[in-house]
Amino acid sequence: MRYYKKSVIGFRDESDEEIGGVLSTAPVTVQEKEPFCCIAKIRFKEANIALDYYNDAFYLEPGDKVFVTGKYYGKLGFVERVTTHFRIDKTKYKKVIAKPDLRITGSFQRVNDKMISFDTNFDADRFGAIMIPPRDPDDDPEEILCGEGWRVELDCFEDSESVDPEKLHRGLDLCRQGNVLYLSLQQGRGAAYIRGSRVYKAEFDFDGETVSNLFCSCPFNDDCLCKHETAVLITLRMLLDQPELEDRTDFVAFDTDFFWNYVSCESKAVALQ
Ligand SMILES: [Zn+2]
């Protein structure tokens, strides 16, 4: 696929060919290398500390970003050094539990306070994998049970008796502060990640008018939508009102600040067109 549109930014996979300055993207094909046993020194920037972790689940090299068990569970760490020369007491070591795929490809354009793509393969699961680590294998397994999801008309959801005015205002604050980090709509299925005290995921169905089966992963259980759900509805309606999204049913939207922070840390192949 080729892009000629102005004010579009593109990210190409390293395997793509760039032809005469025009960006060409292809689906990312991940050829993951074989995992091997090693001790990895992993730095956590916020705490400015580097610790050794045991790994036997991933192919690791310096520069990789990983999630671990233990005190720094939930923080994305940066692999500084890897060694296969070791003799350790395994019970004394915490482990590497995930190596999320951070590559971003596709073309993005700014729409309001979001960066929108119609061709990226950065779907909700991939976004979730960088925001929310897998469960610590040493913890008890989760058992998720869902009741009934919320159902509202998007155009006038504020009028619904399920929408509490205070939660609506707090949802609006989340939107203003750029906390709806990601929202995607793919074949009538929507997903969003919202930053609060931690990052929560909301999921829903959308048929062009009605949002149904709306759930949020936060612990709020009252007889009204939570602030994250109202933030998602506000964001979805704002986006669908924009001319760039007219007649579009599938898209991915990133919060602009989050997007540029992410790109500045992660991407090596960027083209402005
Ligand atoms: Zn919530």
Instruction: Give the C-alpha separation, 113 to 131, whole Å.
Output: 20
Give the per-residue pLDDT at 21: 33
Kindly give the distance from the C-alpha atom of residue 73 to the centroid of ligand 1, in angstroms, as a whole number. 22
Kindly give the distance from the C-alpha atom of residue 110 to the centroid of ligand 1, in angstroms, as a whole number. 26
Instruction: Report DSSP state, residue 92.
Output: G
Kindly give the distance from the C-alpha atom of residue 160 to the centroid of ligand 1, in angstroms, as a whole number. 17
Kindly give the distance from the C-alpha atom of residue 159 to the centroid of ligand 1, in angstroms, as a whole number. 19
Kindly give the distance from the C-alpha atom of residue 80 to the centroid of ligand 1, in angstroms, as a whole number. 36
Domain ranges of the chain: 38-98, 110-272
Average pLDDT over residues 76-84: 95
Question: What is the value of pTM for the model shown?
Answer: 0.83
Q: In what order do the strands lie in the sheet with 150-153?
A: 150-153, 210-216, 199-206, 189-195, 180-186, 251-255, 114-117, 106-111, 9-11, 270-272
158-167 pLDDT tens trace: 999 999 999 9
223-252 pLDDT tens trace: 999 999 999 999 999 999 999 998 889 999
Kindly give the distance from the C-alpha atom of residue 227 to the centroid of ligand 1, in angstroms, as a whole number. 6
The pLDDT > 70 percentage for the chain reads 88
Kindly give the distance from the C-alpha atom of residue 233 to the centroid of ligand 1, in angstroms, as a whole number. 12
Give the per-residue pLDDT at 152: 97
Kindly give the distance from the C-alpha atom of residue 131 to the centroid of ligand 1, in angstroms, as a whole number. 16
The pLDDT > 90 percentage for the chain reads 67
